[in-house]
């Protein structure tokens, strides 16, 4: 039997886990805000508020019969 050749350190390390999309989005946002955590948080909150407003308009536009009142029941839960 032939002895195996030692592997370089890079090959011995375990494979990295799949990237976390939330972490990647946070890193991107922080980079876009120049590393300013407060500006990044404000941008995230602003985006969330815009999405909530859009969802409210969508709920009003979709009939209760079409959605089987799912969005009305969901609004009560939230």
Q: Mind listing the pLDDT tens digit for each residue in 1-57?
A: 555 666 565 555 656 677 899 999 999 999 999 999 999 999 999 999 999 999 888
* Core vs surface per residue 5-17: b (16+ CB within 10 A) or e: eeeeeeeeeeeee
Categorize the per-residue pLDDT at 59 as very low, low, confident or very high, splitting at 50, 70 and 90: confident
**pTM across the whole model:** 0.56
The upper half-sphere exposure of residue 26, i.e. CA atoms within 13 Å in the direction of its Cβ, equals: 8
| C-alpha count within 13 angstroms, C-beta hemisphere, residue 63 | 2
Domain count across the chain: 1
Q: Provide the domain limits for residue 51.
A: 30-78
In contact, 75 and 66? CB cutoff 8 Å: no
Whether residue 37 is contained in a domain is answered as yes
CA 67 to CA 59: how far, in whole Å? Answer: 9
Q: Domain for residue 23, yes or no?
A: no
- Residue 5 forms part of a structural domain: no
């Amino acid at each position: 039997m032939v002895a195996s050749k030692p592997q370089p350190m890079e090959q011995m390390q375990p494979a990295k886990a799949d990237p976390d999309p939330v972490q990647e989005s946070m890193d991107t946002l922080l980079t876009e805000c120049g590393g300013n955590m407060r500006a990044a948080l404000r941008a995230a909150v602003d985006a969330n508020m815009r999405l909530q407003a859009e969802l409210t308009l969508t709920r009003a536009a979709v009939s209760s019969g079409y959605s089987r009142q799912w969005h009305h029941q969901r609004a009560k839960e939230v």
